[in-house]
Structure 1
Amino acid sequence: MEQDKIFASPEEPTFTRVFRNWDSRCLRNILDDWLIHLKILSKSPTSDRLWKSTLPFLAIPQSVIQLTFLISDKLEQPPEVRYLTVEIFDRFMTRHFTTLHENVFKKPGAKQNYKMWSKVISRVQNQTLLRLLSCMQLSSKFASHYQVLSPKKIRQFLTDAGHSFTITSIIASEMRVFQTLDFKIPLSPPLVHFETLLTILMKDYSALKSETYHIEVLEPIHELGLQILDIAFLLHHELYSNLFYMATGERGPTGSQRLKFLGVECDNLYLAAAVIACAAVMLYEHQNDLAEGVLTYVSSRTGIPKKDIAGLASILRRLSLEASSRLENCMN
């Protein structure tokens, strides 16, 4: 029994445990430097999301994101895996589909090309679940060394789902995804921004208040924030369409407007700040001073105007409440 304990994988450290165990003096400097880095990433050009005139977020409709979240839960993966999987899958499928289209239609013979393209589409459809799991497999390696998804575990899941793939084909698929992405994994999804900003917020509050106060008051923001972040992913298109309408009074964005608005859609620090502000309002709606204090703080630390954060947070709150209402109706 004792030997099992020694060689067993340790429990995945939670956000709370990591937060409490870090030395405050070291953590302050690290977090400040990391936040500066995240600001640079959030404001950097979105050219890495544009590949041969394609746009991001086209390969991940709500149904795909729902499937990703369900599989992630089934395979007992931490939250960062599902978010990173969505982003990797979007980037991979955009490049994969575009490359296949170019390879087919650059050849002469229109009629033959359309027949060939039909076969290619059929093959892509048959491999979609495998590709999604390959993206999740990569994500698990970058997110947690405790719960890495092995090819054997992926094969078992595929078998249970009625698909037959060998271990060799699963390994080859993972390598295909990695190569298509030029071996570059986006390691700053919204969850990284969210937890970094929230940790800084909690540390600053702990300097002003007692340990009990900041843990009891601010820690619930993390749990609720993850739920709100799920909503932001699932309803991405609706969220940013509403934000565009709030900012311009126009429906969209469409065409060239979408390209100009892309910087807002890809600003993960902006989204993280809005998620924290939204969680604070929902948790402390009867404590306006606290909710307003959180909003003011995240605005000052990110440099994003309060009204912009409050605007996105208000849309997130409405979408979250609507989603909660729909869930309750389904259960009744």
Structure 2
Amino acid sequence: MVKQAENICRQARIQLRDNKREFQNWRALKEQLFNKFTLRLVSCVQLASKLSFQSKIISNVTVLNFLQSLGYLHTKEELLESELDVLKSLNFQINLPTPLAYVEILLEVLGYNGCLVPAMRLHATCLTLLDLVYLLHEPIYESLLRASIENSTPSQLQGEKFISVKEDFMLLAVGIIAASAFIQSHECWSQVVEHLQSITGIALASIAEFSYAILTHSVGANTPGRQQSIPPHLAARALKTVASCNT
């Protein structure tokens, strides 16, 4: 909707010639935006349903009845044109991959595979940890880099090579789920990690390292009776050992 408003205003500026006409055109454009706002919003919801809920797509009849209940009368042709306008505004790029999409797909597969921790419980914790990783993106990935090279001062070249890890949504997803499983039920952590390794092919050690990096920034590496923190690379080694012992 923002992009469409920008396009309309940009076109209006090109066509305007004097102040009086500018005022009249702006009132007309503002009224046009107000009238189309609800229709565009419903079109976005309908498009989202087509992407996410194939078995429960919101039909055109349902949308038209809903709009009519709000006092808006539209035809099916106007509804289709509205969807097309939304798609054009987004350059038809509406199915971009996100970390959440990877997490939800993996959770669904885990559920089918008989994961001991209920997927719904994991999902709620995963959402919180995804927010955390977003807010603490740099420190989490920096600690992961130091753990992976077992050096507290990585070189510029090592940092550049690590960019591919930062862009790996599948690795992020398995790390998020593994950390969530540890928080929800650490007794089942090994089973969840083994399932994730089987599904994705990502090494157990990599999953362990990533989950540790997330956990140290969420629940911390210290215990109440311990004053000094565990060096990240040593803790990562310990998690590697745990993971390898469960294979």
- Which of the five TM-score ranges fits, normalised by the shorter chain? 0.5 to 0.7
Structure 1, residues 173-218: CA drift from partner, whole Å, max 9, x if none? Answer: 1122223333343153445411443467678xx6xxxxxxxx2513
1:96 aligns with 2:1: no
Preserved CA contact (<8 Å) 1:134 1:170: yes
Match of 1:276 in 2: 177
**TM-score, normalisation: structure 2:** 0.54
Q: Which runs of 5+ in 1 are unaligned?
A: 1-92, 207-214, 249-262, 316-332
Distance 1:113 1:224, change over 3 A: farther
Q: Name the aligned partner's letter for residue 224 of structure 1.
A: R
Q: Which runs of 5+ in 2 are unaligned?
A: 142-163, 221-247
Distance 1:244 1:224, change over 3 A: same
Preserved CA contact (<8 Å) 2:115 2:192: no
Output the CA distance in 1 between the equivalents of 2:16 and 2:218. Answer: 52
Deviation at 1:264, TM superposition (A): 11
Match of 1:223 in 2: 120
Output the CA distance in 2 between the equivalents of 1:312 and 1:128. Answer: 41
RMSD after superposition: 4.5
**Which of 171, 175, 189 is matched with 2:80 structurally?**
171
Alignment map for 1:147-226 (pairs within 5 Å): 147-186=56-95, 188-198=97-107, 215=114, 217-218=116-117, 220=118, 222-226=119-123
Distance 1:293 1:148, change over 3 A: closer
Deviation at 1:152, TM superposition (A): 0.9
Distance 1:142 1:107, change over 3 A: same
Deviation at 1:166, TM superposition (A): 3.0
Output the CA distance in 2 between the equivalents of 1:226 and 1:161. Answer: 34
Greater relative CO, 1 or 2 (CA 8 Å, sep 6+): 1
Output the CA distance in 1 between the equivalents of 2:50 and 2:30. Answer: 29
Aligned identity (percent) is: 22
**TM-score, normalisation: structure 1:** 0.43
Structure possessing the higher radius of gyration over alpha carbons: 2
Alignment map for 1:1-332 (pairs within 5 Å): 93-109=1-17, 111=19, 112-113=21-22, 116-117=25-26, 119-186=28-95, 188-198=97-107, 215=114, 217-218=116-117, 220=118, 222-228=119-125, 240=134, 242-243=135-136, 268-269=169-170, 272-273=173-174, 275-284=176-185, 287=186, 290-291=188-189, 294=192, 300=203, 305-310=210-215
Deviation at 1:170, TM superposition (A): 1.6
Question: How many matched pairs?
Answer: 190
